Amino acid sequence: MPTDRLWLNDGHMIPALGLGIWQVPAADTATTVALALRLGYRLVDGAAIYGNEAGLGDGLRDSGTPRDEVFVTTKVWNSDQGHDSTLRAVEASLQRLRMDRVDLCLIHWPAPAQGRYIDTWRALIRLRDEGKVRSIGVSNFMGAHLERLVGETGVVPVLNQIELNPRLQQAPLRALHDRMGIVTQSWTPLGQGRSFDAAPVQAVARRTGKSPAQVILRWHLELGLSVIPRSTRAAGLAENLDILDFALLPDEMAAMAGLDEGVRCGPDPMTVA
Q: Catalog residues that contact ligand NAD under the rule CB under 6 A.
A: 20-22, 45, 108, 139-140, 161, 187-190, 193, 211, 213, 228-231, 236, 239-240, 266
Separation CA 32–CA 27 (nearest Å): 10
Give least dist CB 9 to ligand NAD, A: 19
Catalytic residues: 50
Residue with smallest beta-carbon separation from ligand NAD? 20
Q: How many CB atoms lie within 10 A of CB 61?
A: 14
Check if the beta carbon of residue 55 is closer than 8 Å to that of residue 48: no
CB closer to ligand NAD, 123 vs 138:
138
Bridge partners of residue 4, in order along the sequence? none
Q: Which is nearer to ligand NAD, 119 or 239 (CB)?
A: 239
> 222 or 239: whose CB is closer to ligand NAD?
239
State in angstroms the smallest separation of the CB of 235 from ligand NAD: 8
Q: Which residue, 116 or 230, has its beta carbon nearer to ligand NAD?
A: 230
Q: Which is nearer to ligand NAD, 247 or 272 (CB)?
A: 272
State the DSSP string of the chain.
---SEEE-TTS-EEESB-EE-TT--HHHHHHHHHHHHHHT--EEE--GGGT-HHHHHHHHHHHT--GGG-EEEEEE-GGG-SHHHHHHHHHHHHHHHT-S-EEEEEES---TTT--HHHHHHHHHHHHHTTSEEEEEEES--HHHHHHHHHHH----SEEEEE-BTTB--HHHHHHHHHHT-EEEEESTTGGGTTTTSHHHHHHHHHH---HHHHHHHHHHHTT-EE-----SHHHHHHHH--SS----HHHHHHHHTT-----SS--TTT--
Residue 25 beta carbon to ligand NAD: minimum distance, rounded to whole angstroms: 12
| CB of 206 or CB of 251, closer to ligand NAD | 206
> Pairing mode, if any, of strands 19-20 and 43-45?
parallel
